[in-house]
Amino acid sequence: MNGGHPAAESWAAWWRELNKLDLSIKRVRGQVASSNAFRDDAKAAVQFYFREVRPALTGLPLDDANLGILDEINPHMLELAARPSRKSTYRSRMRELKALQGRVEAKIEIRANTKSSGSLSALLTTSTEAAILKTLDQLVPTTALSYQQVLLDLGDKQRTSYRGTASELSEVVRELLDHLAPDEEVLKTVRLERDQKRPSMKQKTVFILKNRGLGETARKPAETSVEIIENGIGLLARSVYDRGSLSTHVATTRQEVLTLKGYGDAVLADLLQIHKV
């Protein structure tokens, strides 16, 4: 988490309190949590949410349905703490909060970095990049973080290496394909080669676009782009050994990653149906 932003700091502090509360819940003997000390801790955790976390999240803003779920769970926790309540109910609510934790953290990171850093805003030079980041944020927040990192890396011309950036770009495409086309679904329609352990990125792309009713001609650009990304990462890793000077290596590698990013953006735009919005 980006510790410098108030939302990130208050969220992290709140989860430290919730983790302590979760341990206390597990230590409750019997079926009912009735001790005043425990109930006071539960009230304090909820009050921290409404006094510190909620205003910080609103300030980003965090335009997410998850915020509505948080606003539903916390008042109920306060109601539970007002009287002796069943331990199982507390545990159920805590499970719901933990299910939201990672998704909200990722969104805070994206919102905090985007709002507090002018550098990212400056890097969003095309409407396609901005739309990809926004749509990924809504669909797979952790993948949006990776795409954001690609933008930041390529905007930093002082970097000494861009090989990690290339791998990050490949993972962005791969993670989105995995989200849209789970292995078990794709395997119902394709047969793997002898040494193939899972569907390829190209097979997943074909699966998704076929399901959308696109014919072979309409699918071809996305299929070609995915193949270039998949093969290009390996070629890029091997090519570093053929370059004499460090400066030539870094400049050339950055240009190659920028070229791969062009194909990556094309695939992401097709998969996310950005041009159809």
pLDDT in tens, the chain (277 residues): 544 577 788 899 999 999 999 999 999 999 999 999 999 999 999 999 998 888 888 766 565 677 888 999 999 999 999 999 999 999 999 999 998 888 788 777 776 665 444 555 555 567 888 899 889 988 888 888 889 888 888 887 777 777 788 888 889 999 999 999 999 999 998 888 888 888 989 999 999 999 999 898 988 989 888 888 887 766 554 454 444 444 445 666 788 888 888 889 999 999 999 865 4
Question: How does DSSP classify residue 49?
Answer: I
Q: Residue 193's pLDDT is what?
A: 84
Measured between alpha carbons, how far is 272 from 262 in angstroms, rounded to an integer?
Answer: 15
DSSP H helices, 49-162, are 54-58, 65-81, 87-116, 118-123, 127-139, 141-155
| pTM of the predicted structure, to 2 decimals | 0.59
The conformational region for residue 273 under phi > 0 = left, psi -120 to 50 = alpha, else beta, is: left
Measured between alpha carbons, how far is 173 from 262 in angstroms, rounded to an integer?
Answer: 12
Measured between alpha carbons, how far is 210 from 215 in angstroms, rounded to an integer?
Answer: 7
Q: Residue 64's pLDDT is what?
A: 63
Measured between alpha carbons, how far is 175 from 167 in angstroms, rounded to an integer?
Answer: 12
Q: Where are the domains of the chain?
A: 6-112, 118-276
Amino acid identity at 120: L
Q: Residue 244's pLDDT is what?
A: 44
Torsion angle of alpha carbons 208, 209, 213, 217, nearest 10°?
-160
Measured between alpha carbons, how far is 45 from 38 in angstroms, rounded to an integer?
Answer: 11
